[in-house]
Chain A
């Protein structure tokens, strides 16, 4: 087999081809590179290239057939109330969703893990069901529940408790409430499952030891359950933060691309508005770079935070 590869005539080269292929097929050294090649190609073309391009575009003004270097002027344009609003809305949204989507699922999972609760599988499945809907479908329902009319479910409930009906989609506080509620409703069950899986790995012995020491249920939660769940809590908050900064659809279903007074404007919504709707790709890319920076800083802080925990 080795000899045939040395022959250089054209015709013989055709013969060497199958042997080259069979060499690749049976080589432990080459095969893994063939296996990972789809990732390498997609990484280069669909990740690295656009990533670099995003930075380059953010310094350009891009018109059809006319690309000019404009220095930092796209970034200067970020110093406007619009971007500030987008940043503020997104940050508030992230903080609220992280708190809600960590604390409540954690409590629910603790109960779901307890033998005191009956029909656990049924409850678990029902809580998970909302995760199967798309944000658009969820938004269709939420718009009907939180409709402006006095008779709609949300306003009727308010009235029952003696409050004034609200115009949900037209106030900044209620607008945030709608987006956070929609996201929390959809994602609650998934985070419950994360915590539940982690809870099932907490050793029974720890609880038995706590029982012997006469710990109450609440003490057990704070001194046994919580510390054991630290890694999964950090994991869930990390995805919640990143998903929060990526938020777009939860706003889109309520107001499409423009909300009254920008009450629903988010960073990604702003990228879409400027980059796609207004076709100002350079400016849109600059917003994206800032988003990347924010996520980068949060990731670094998180790693440091987690690292600090590992030390003790």
Chain B
């Protein structure tokens, strides 16, 4: 009797989650369908339940792989380059800082950690105009550098690396010192390899943030050939646009690589995107 009741509840809850999942995935599936529909129909009717199968075609994909779409691919290249540079630099710097904050007792260390937490609380948008002015003064407008510079030492990553390094064995440092290893050697050769899972999580967090970042690149990137994907795609949204084919297939192609990465590295995505949830 109790078992039957349990089974019934289990079925009801599972059915409820099927509905919720359909709602959650509906927009993504819609985008996939939309990329096979004529853009003119989409701009007129929006996305409809009833889709005329005869209308489905590969025009959007033909358009996006044609000569005229070279602009889209330059956005893609910019986004890839900016994300890659940012991942390398921010992981390098943030891990050093986080590691030092957890492994060394040094004067001012506590203060620096407090400052890290403080910068974490302050929204970037408040610093945006002075930083915009600074980039202007440094003649960095419309460069990768301007996009990357403010995110290079990410406080969230510093915080994460610090938390992770707290769990590393400190005796390893002592024995390395006895063997004559330098302090930097200890980090780069011994400790950093032990921190690989945290590097993976932060690479995903920083990469995703940079890939999807919008406001700051919008502010500092001025010419279409320098745009990142979100900034470029947003320009296609205007009512005066005539490149709607690029909009749908183009949007889909920005999501697909991330979804594929997610399927392979789910664990790191989850720990990267939920930084500080339990420990913080």
Contacts and interface: CB of A to CB of B under 8 A. Distances in A.
Interface stretch (A80-88, A94-102, A124-132, A219-227): A124-132
A180 B152 CA distance: 31
Contacts of B72: none
Contacts, number: 287
> In the complex, which range does the number of interface residues on chain B fall in?
35 or more
B207 to A, nearest CB: 11
Nearest to A150: B45
B104 A31 contact: yes
B46 A126 contact: no
Interface stretch (A2-10, A114-122, A171-179): A114-122
Interface string B231-242: 001100110000
Contacts of A38: 93-94, 96-97, 152-153
A59 interface: no
B121 to A, nearest CB: 6
A224 B139 CA distance: 58
A263 interface: no
B125 A288 contact: yes
A216 interface: no
Interface string B218-244: 010000000001100110011000000
B48 A291 contact: no
Interface stretch (A11-19, A44-52, A204-212): A44-52
Interface residues of A, number: 97
The binding surface of chain B is classed by DSSP as: helix
A301 B131 CA distance: 29
B100 interface: yes
A45 B236 CA distance: 35
Nearest to A189: B24
Nearest to B183: A31
B65 interface: no
B87 to A, nearest CB: 15
B125 A291 contact: yes
B148 to A, nearest CB: 11
B70 interface: no
Contact of B278 (A125, A135, A201): A201
B276 interface: yes
Given A43-B115, A43-B119, A128-B270, A137 B182 contact: no
Given A39-B93, A134-B230, A137-B233, A129 B28 contact: yes
A4 to B, nearest CB: 19
Given A144-B34, A201-B278, A29 B106 contact: yes
Contacts of A256: 234, 237-238
Interface in B90-135: 93-94, 96-97, 99-101, 103-104, 106, 109, 112, 115-116, 119, 121-134
Contact of A141 (B34, B215, B258): B34
A249 B215 contact: yes
B247 interface: yes
A163 interface: no
Contact of A116 (B13, B127, B258): B13
Nearest to A55: B130
Given A149-B46, A246-B125, A142 B27 contact: yes
A230 to B, nearest CB: 13
Contacts of A129: 24-25, 28, 259, 262
A49 B150 CA distance: 12
Contacts of B266: 125
A169 B70 CA distance: 32
A69 to B, nearest CB: 16
A72 interface: no
A26 to B, nearest CB: 5
A152 B95 CA distance: 48
Interface in A255-312: 256, 268, 271-272, 275-276, 281, 284-285, 288-289, 291-292, 295, 299
Interface in B4-51: 6, 9-10, 13-14, 16-17, 20-21, 24-25, 27-28, 30-31, 34, 42, 44-50
B12 to A, nearest CB: 9
B215 A133 contact: no
A137 B75 CA distance: 14
Contacts of A193: 270, 273-274, 277
B133 A281 contact: yes
A185 B27 contact: yes
B28 A252 contact: no
B212 interface: yes
Given A29-B106, A147-B45, A197-B278, 18 more contacts: A31-B183, A38-B93, A39-B93, A43-B115, A111-B17, A116-B9, A118-B10, A126-B24, A134-B229, A137-B255, A140-B248, A145-B27, A151-B50, A156-B48, A193-B277, A198-B278, A232-B278, A284-B129
Interface of A: 22, 25-29, 31-36, 38-40, 42-43, 46-47, 49-51, 53-54, 57, 108, 111-112, 114, 116-119, 122-123, 125-149, 151-153, 156, 185, 188-190, 193-194, 197-198, 201, 232, 235, 242, 245-246, 248-249, 252-253, 256, 268, 271-272, 275-276, 281, 284-285, 288-289, 291-292, 295, 299
12 contacts: A50-B131, A117-B14, A128-B270, A131-B273, A132-B259, A134-B229, A142-B27, A144-B34, A151-B48, A153-B48, A193-B270, A275-B128
